[in-house]
């Protein structure tokens, strides 16, 4: 077995009931979820019982998903499954900070709360939307974006790029995608994330992060914006840039594969990242942990592989 990576789920994966079975069965997961509740009262009710509408609001989504991402990681560590490196999709990158040793959980969670408020405010001031473009090469999507005041912001996998633009421009943009032979799927999100629409949020987060004392990483955390591991000296700048820069997920995963990572465990709600990694390809094994059942399956698999 090669190197093992934990990859932390991002915004859009949330659902009502997430984290509940781990809360009930894992002492480690319960501790981190209780800590999130202490830091931000109401988090557990939203995770376990929140409506889709409530969970889709950025100021709610981000702390809830971060809490669940970390609970899943803690449950794995409790069972003896440890990563050699880390990555996170957008918001998931913040959840990974404590596991890289850059920040304590309390500091990372406070950072997420600030990030969520800044991005929510920015989205309200600069109404934008996001559209997933399928079946086109990256270069074709970039050309359509350049002609329609849009931005390619999530390079998810070959043939799938998410773009940010003003909501009023989505119909014309979708027609241009269709004319080029692609498919456009508008996403139910609260803003045009990872684009210049988020410039004010990026500035605010960069300023906030400059007041934090980042430690040197104990594990490599690969950054969405650069596809290279974090360093303490540049962490604040990178966290600000991440908010307004594309998520280069395809390049990031290929970089990790080139660095020897063969096993990717998605931690957090849903199985989106595992699906993207499978489409990126390579000699890769994929697992996920989001509840007690998937935890047991993943732990058993790793015990069997370690015994071989």
User: pLDDT (tens digit, 9 = 90+) per residue, 91-129?
Assistant: 999 999 999 999 999 999 999 999 999 999 999 998 899
Say whether 90 is catalytic: yes
Q: What is the pTM of this model?
A: 0.94
Would strands 285-289 and 160-165 be described as parallel, antiparallel, or unpaired? unpaired
Q: Domain 129-186 belongs to what architecture?
A: 2-Layer Sandwich (3.30)
Q: How far is CA 194 from CA 43, 44, 201, 260, 286, in A?
A: 25, 27, 10, 28, 26
Q: What are phi and psi of 76, to 5 degrees?
A: -65, -45
Burial of 3 (0-12, 13-18, 19+ CB in 10 A): middle
Percent above pLDDT 90 for the chain: 87
* Residue ranges of domains in the chain: 3-124+195-307, 129-186
How far is the C-alpha of 13 from the C-alpha of 289, rounded, in Å? 13
- 127 CB-near residues (< 8 Å, 6+ apart): 166, 167, 191
Query: Is it the case that residue 261 has pLDDT exceeding 80?
Result: yes
pLDDT in tens, 217-248: 999 999 999 999 999 999 999 999 999 999 99
Query: Nearest 10 degrees: CA dihedral of 209, 219, 299, 16?
Result: 10
Integer Cα distance of 239 and 17 in angstroms: 29
Q: Which of 90, 195, 245, 294 is catalytic?
A: 90
Active-site hit among 26, 40, 148, 194:
194
Q: Which among 204, 257, 203 has a CA at the least distance from the CA of 227?
A: 257
Q: What is the mean pLDDT of residues 58-80?
A: 95
Helices (H), the chain: 20-25, 27-39, 43-49, 52-56, 58-78, 91-95, 97-100, 105-125, 138-147, 170-179, 199-209, 235-244, 249-258, 272-280, 292-307
The predicted-structure confidence for 173-215, as pLDDT tens digits, reads as follows 999 999 999 999 998 777 899 999 999 999 999 999 999 999 9
Would you say residue 305 has pLDDT above 80?
Answer: no
**pLDDT tier at 51 (50, 70, 90 boundaries)?**
confident
* Confidence at 253, pLDDT banded by 50, 70, 90: very high
Over pLDDT 70: what percentage of the chain? 99
CB 126 within 8 A of CB 151: no
Q: How far apart, in whole angstroms, are the C-alpha atoms of residue 65 and residue 72? A: 11
Q: How far is C-alpha 22 from the chain's CA centre?
A: 20
pLDDT at 267: 98
Q: Angle at CA 307, nearest 5°, toward 304 and 308?
A: 95
Evaluate the CA torsion angle 30, 92, 220, 110 in order and state its sign: negative
Reported as a single tens digit per residue, the pLDDT across 6-43 is: 999 998 888 999 999 999 999 999 999 999 999 999 99
Question: What average pLDDT does range 52-63 have in this prediction?
Answer: 88
pLDDT in the model for residue 188: 76
Residue 267 CA to residue 286 CA, distance in Å, equals: 11
User: What is the token pair recorded at 126?
Assistant: 């600069």
* CA pair distance 229, 152, nearest whole angstrom: 23
- Cβ neighbours around 183 below 10 Å, total: 14
Q: Indicate the fold that domain 3-124+195-307 takes in CATH.
A: Malonyl-Coenzyme A Acyl Carrier Protein; domain 2 (3.40.366)
Q: At what angle do helices 249-258 and 272-280 cross, to 10 degrees?
A: 70
């Amino acid at each position: 077995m090669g190197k093992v990576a934990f990859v932390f789920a991002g915004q859009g994966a949330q659902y009502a009931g997430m984290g509940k079975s781990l809360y009930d069965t894992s002492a480690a997961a319960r501790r981190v979820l209780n800590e999130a509740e202490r830091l931000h009262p109401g988090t557990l009710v939203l995770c376990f019982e929140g409506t889709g509408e409530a969970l889709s609001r950025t100021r709610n989504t981000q702390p809830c998903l971060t809490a669940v991402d970390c609970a899943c990681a803690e449950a794995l560590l409790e069972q003896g499954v440890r990563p050699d490196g880390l990555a996170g999709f957008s918001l998931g990158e913040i959840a990974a900070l404590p596991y890289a040793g850059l920040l304590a959980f309390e500091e990372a969670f406070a950072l997420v709360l600030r990030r969520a408020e800044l991005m929510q405010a920015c989205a309200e001031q600069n109404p934008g939307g996001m559209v997933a473009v399928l079946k086109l090469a990256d270069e074709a999507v970039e050309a359509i974006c350049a002609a329609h005041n849009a931005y390619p912001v999530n390079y998810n996998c070959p043939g799938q790029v998410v773009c940010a633009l003003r909501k009023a421009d989505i119909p014309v943009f979708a027609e241009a995608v269709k004319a080029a032979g692609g498919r456009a799927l508008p996403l139910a999100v609260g803003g045009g994330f990872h684009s210049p629409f988020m410039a004010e949020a990026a500035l605010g987060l960069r300023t906030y992060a400059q007041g934090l004392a980042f430690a040197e990483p104990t594990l490599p955390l690969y950054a969405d914006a650069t596809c290279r591991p974090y360093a303490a000296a540049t962490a604040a700048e990178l966290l600000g840039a991440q908010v307004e820069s594309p998520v280069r997920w395809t390049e990031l995963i290929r970089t990790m594969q080139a660095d020897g990572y063969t096993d990717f465990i998605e931690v957090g709600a849903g199985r989106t990242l595992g699906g993207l990694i499978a489409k990126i390809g390579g000699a890769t094994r994929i697992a996920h942990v989001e509840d007690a059942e998937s935890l047991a399956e993943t732990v058993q698999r790793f015990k069997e592989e370690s015994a071989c």
